[in-house]
A = this chain, B = another copy of it.
Amino acid sequence: MPRVSQDHLEARRRQILDGSRVCFARYGYEGATVRRLEEATGLSRGAIFHHFRDKESLFLALAEEDAARMADVVAEQGLVQVMRDLLTEGSDHPADWLGTRLEVSRRLRTDPEFRGRWAERSQQLTAATRQRLLWQRRAGNLRDDVDVDVLTAYLELVLEGLVSHLAMGLPGDDLGPVLDLVEESVRRHRARAAVDS
């Protein structure tokens, strides 16, 4: 394929993904009608579904892209940083993540078929988190009395709680110290003695 066509295809795909992300975040999956997707992307349904088989495929591509971006931040800065970003409006990794993530959580709860389709795609965040923790352990920063899989599951559970908290419209501005505690609880301490009780 000539380079210019490839670039054109990529640009179109980008335009569709960016427009529909805003649309899904505003209206939810069911509410993001084809008409609204056309408006949000500035493209006809013909053009949109030339690039994506159907709305489901478009949403999954979006969710997958956001999960990959989250995984990149995890690899560089850890999952707690992903959580801090969710609390910070106007950060480099803005709240459009949250829209997709909420929609994924909602559909996982209500749509058993979606669970299967999402399962394989959701592995990358877990894998990136686990990888980062292993790296931190080798660097001597991680506590070594708890299995890395347990620490991974712990951080993912807190992330899910945070997503749910924000989805319920509860304020996030006082959760900074809570995330400090979460971060500290996976780190190695110079002296870690027996628990009192």
Binding site for B on A (CB under 8 A): 102, 105-106, 108-109, 112, 115, 140-141, 146-147, 150-151, 153-154, 157-165, 167-169, 174-175, 177-178, 181-182, 184-185, 187-197
Secondary structure of the A side of the interface? helix
**Cross-chain contact B185 with A196 (CB below 8 angstroms):** no
B184 touches A195 (CB 8 A): yes
In the complex, are the beta carbons of B187 and A190 less than 8 A apart? no
List, in ascending order, chain B residues with CB within 8 A of A159's CB: 161
Contacts of A188 in B (CB 8 A): 195-197
Q: Which residues of B contact A153 (CB under 8 A)?
A: 174-175, 178
Q: How many copies does the complex hold?
A: 2
A191 cross-chain contacts in B, Cβ below 8 A: 191-193
Q: Mind listing 18 A-B residue pairs with CB under 8 Å?
A: A105-B168, A108-B168, A109-B164, A109-B167, A109-B168, A109-B169, A112-B169, A115-B168, A146-B177, A150-B177, A150-B181, A158-B158, A161-B161, A184-B185, A188-B196, A189-B193, A189-B196, A190-B195
A196 touches B190 (CB 8 A): yes
Contacts of A158 in B (CB 8 A): 157-158, 161
Nearest CB of chain B from residue A26's CB, rounded to whole Å:
14
**In the complex, chain B residues whose CB is within 8 Å of the CB of A197:** 141, 187-188
| Neighbouring B residues of A160 by C-beta, 8 Å | 160-161, 164-165
